[in-house]
Structure 1
Amino acid sequence: FNSVTRVFKYAKHLKIITDDPTSSVIIPKASRQFDNLEHSRNYYTRDELRKFLEYAEKHEKYKVYVLFRLLAFSGMRKSEALALTWNDIDFDKSRITINKTLILTPKVEVSTPKTKNSNRVVFIDKKTSSVLKEWRFEQKKELLQKGFNALSTNQIVFSGRNNLYIFPTTISKMMNRISEGSNLPHITVHGLRHTYATLAVQGGMSVKQLQAQLGHSDVQTTLNIYTSITDEQRKDTANQYTSFVNF
């Protein structure tokens, strides 16, 4: 459209035309991905998340359950979680330092985080910390049986075949398998990040806290994408208003 505008402006300048027809055209604003977030429903409600994780714990390998539990209860990106080593996790303070991410080049390589703000510390709850400890114990047994050094602090938390990094794209298949098995709507792995943010807002987390946990450089990104209201919240809207107004 800009090229067409320039042509008409130049024609007007040469007095070939007297009017620029493009000057009265109203260009609609481009639809942005987060505008359709609610309609795409790329997140789970609290009850759906519980059902998803319960199924994963019962029917998947423990490592898979722990990975999805961590994603859903930390808000970290899948490429950040898959890049973690055990020395990134501080169990005493229940926090994880994110200072690397996985990229495909097309092989899997470790890189610096997505942005400056992506380099951050995220906090985890006691249960997530507990299941991570349990997985570390189980992983050590598995690695020793296969002849790997299980005591290295640089050991990958979620290692795959031959104790190497897992391809980030492969966990989408796991996600779909669990969603289907638990009769839940399909969401993307990134949808667990949306889930964390939505439920965190419902739980009363401030936008600034959420921004820090998710590693957004711009708080507007947090506001635009991650504060969508779920159907569960909307049902209570009228009652919340009446309770507050009280007449």
Structure 2
Amino acid sequence: MDPTSSVIIPKASRQFDKLQTSRNYYTKDELKTFLEYAKKHEKYKFYVLFRLLAFSGMRKSEALALTWNNINFDKAQITINKTLILTPQVEVSTPKTKNSNRIVFIDKKTLSILNEWRLEQKKELLQKGFNALSPNQLVFSNKNNDYIPPTTITNPMNRIIKGSNLPHITVHGLRHTYATLAAQGGMAVKQLQAQLGHSDIQTTLNIYTSITDEQRKETANQYTSFVNF
């Protein structure tokens, strides 16, 4: 009897292949291309929304529930204290976990873009007869000045991807993009966890620190620099 006949040969790991074929984030250059195309070819509202998602890490349902009084332009902070849910109607609810109720920090350029959108939105709302001065005014609203269903922003997202000839990612992929680029840029894991609103840091480590092509290219140089001979 062949003693090797009962040996179970383990299957080769497909983790690397899976990473390559199911990448749901953009590199820095891809994100730049995506946003440049969005600004030129989509409604300004969607450009601002996608910019905010990619530069804050917030969930789409959190961004679509934002009101202007959630944004502190002086402190460069956004308070996330509500989210949209489908019941099947679109309704506002409290964030799904304690950690999801949080403050996220926003860069100056994104804040400037948000401020530009606020001025443009006021003009649009006044033309339609809506009160644009309410502090509870939604940052992103539909033509009836009501909540935008989170599922409907997939269409403009896909138009931008197709038009800019980029790999397909989901809207959630912009959150993944933020986390990946933040990790690549050296943001501490605990900071990233707080920004994303994860209750378990392992979630941050497992899901949001994908290896980008740029990082892998630097692997050899980093090793040589460390070993130094």
Normalised TM-score (structure 1): 0.85
2:101 to 119, 124, 131: 119
Would you say 1:228 and 2:210 are equivalent positions? yes
Task: Classify the secondary structure of the residue corresponding to 2:144.
Answer: helix
Would you say 1:151 and 2:133 are equivalent positions? yes
1: CA distance, partners of 2:143 / 2:91: 15
Query: What's the offset of the Cα at 1:38?
Result: 5.0
1: CA distance, partners of 2:199 / 2:21: 26
Q: Which residue of 2 aligns with 1:7?
A: none
Q: Which runs of 4+ in 1 moved over 3 A?
A: 35-39
Q: Is the 1:120–1:215 contact (alpha carbons within 8 Å) kept by the matching residues of 2?
A: yes
Would you say 1:52 and 2:41 are equivalent positions? no
1 or 2, which has the higher helix percentage?
1
Q: Which residue of 2 aligns with 1:204?
A: 186
The AA in structure 2 aligned to 1:72 is: A
Would you say 1:64 and 2:46 are equivalent positions? yes
Q: Is the 1:38–1:229 contact (alpha carbons within 8 Å) kept by the matching residues of 2?
A: no
| 1:134-177 superposed Cα distances (whole Å, 9 cap, x missing partner) | 00000000000000000000000001121000010000111111
Alignment of 1:27-176 (within 5 A): 36-176=18-158
The AA in structure 1 aligned to 2:198 is: H
Between the two proteins, what is the percent identity of the paired residues?
85
1: CA distance, partners of 2:60 / 2:156: 13
Task: Classify the secondary structure of the residue corresponding to 1:113.
Answer: coil
Alignment of 1:21-32 (within 5 A): none
Query: What's the offset of the Cα at 1:39?
Result: 3.6
Would you say 1:217 and 2:208 are equivalent positions? no
1: CA distance, partners of 2:42 / 2:21: 30
The AA in structure 2 aligned to 1:116 is: K
Gaps of 5+ in 2: 1-7
Task: Classify the secondary structure of the residue corresponding to 1:161.
Answer: coil
The AA in structure 1 aligned to 2:199 is: S
Task: Classify the secondary structure of the residue corresponding to 2:79.
Answer: strand
Gaps of 5+ in 1: 1-25
The AA in structure 2 aligned to 1:212 is: A
Q: Determine which structure has more spread, i.e. the larger CA radius of gyration.
A: 1
Q: Which residue of 1 aligns with 2:219?
A: 237
Query: What's the offset of the Cα at 1:243?
Result: 1.2
2: CA distance, partners of 1:52 / 1:117: 30
| 1:80-125 superposed Cα distances (whole Å, 9 cap, x missing partner) | 0000000000000001000000000111000010111000000000
| 1:12-61 superposed Cα distances (whole Å, 9 cap, x missing partner) | xxxxxxxxxxxxxx9x9xx9x9x945541000000000000000001111
Q: Which residue of 1 aligns with 2:4?
A: none
Q: For the aligned residues, what is the CA RMSD?
A: 1.8
- Corresponding residue pairs, total: 218
2: CA distance, partners of 1:122 / 1:54: 24
The AA in structure 2 aligned to 1:157 is: V
